[in-house]
């Protein structure tokens, strides 16, 4: 009976609040070391980030200069790549590769798709999806990133065969 083999799926579309601005530099260096980026390249990246300053222009004038202690540089060609390394670290710590929660696509269990700070989590049940969400939320917060609840969308779909 085909009716017995049908399954439903649920998914959550997530994004972070000010993701690129919240990358913790010290954690980023640890992440880069952990994935095997050579020390001399990490040192170059540290030097690129060191001593960054900014000022803010408002309708009332310009603020004093202040140090920037976190985040990846706006407009820098490396920023997306560095953020993706950081996000991969979060997902690995959340254990998404080790869990059996997800949906089967081409005979593989898949539970997430990511592009920079946009994440889609997928599961066969609301309980599985909630578990994935909580793991990602917890590990994201440990890394200094917060999920943007206002932009989170949950969707249940019909049967998958």
Selection from 78, 80, 93 nearest residue 47 by Cα: 78
- The ranges assigned to domains in the chain are 2-160
Q: Does domain 2-160 have CATH number 3.30.70?
A: yes
CB neighbour list of residue 46: distance below 8 Å, 6 or more residues apart: 25, 29
What's the pLDDT tens digit per position in 67-103?
877 888 878 889 999 999 999 999 899 887 777 787 8
What's the pLDDT tens digit per position in 9-67?
888 899 899 989 889 999 999 999 988 999 999 999 988 878 778 888 999 999 999 88
Asked whether the beta carbons of 64 and 55 are under 8 A apart, the reply is yes
Positive or negative: CA dihedral 123, 127, 133, 134: negative
Per DSSP, the chain holds a count of helices (H) and strands (E) of 5, 10
């Amino acid at each position: 009976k085909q009716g017995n083999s049908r399954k439903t799926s649920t998914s959550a579309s997530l994004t972070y609040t000010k993701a690129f601005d919240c990358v913790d530099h010290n954690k980023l260096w640890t992440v880069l070391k952990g994935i095997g980026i050579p020390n001399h390249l990490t040192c170059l990246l540290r030097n690129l980030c060191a001593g960054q300053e900014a000022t803010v222009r408002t309708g009332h004038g310009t603020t004093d200069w202040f140090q920037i202690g976190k985040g990846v540089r706006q407009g820098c060609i490396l920023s997306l790549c560095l953020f993706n390394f950081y996000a991969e670290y979060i997902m690995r710590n959340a254990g998404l590769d080790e869990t059996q929660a997800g949906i089967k696509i081409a005979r593989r269990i898949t539970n997430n798709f990511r592009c920079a700070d946009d994440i889609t989590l997928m599961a066969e049940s609301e309980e599985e999806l909630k578990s994935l969400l909580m793991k990602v939320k917890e590990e994201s917060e440990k890394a200094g990133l917060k999920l943007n609840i206002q932009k989170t969308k949950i969707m249940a779909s019909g049967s998958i065969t």
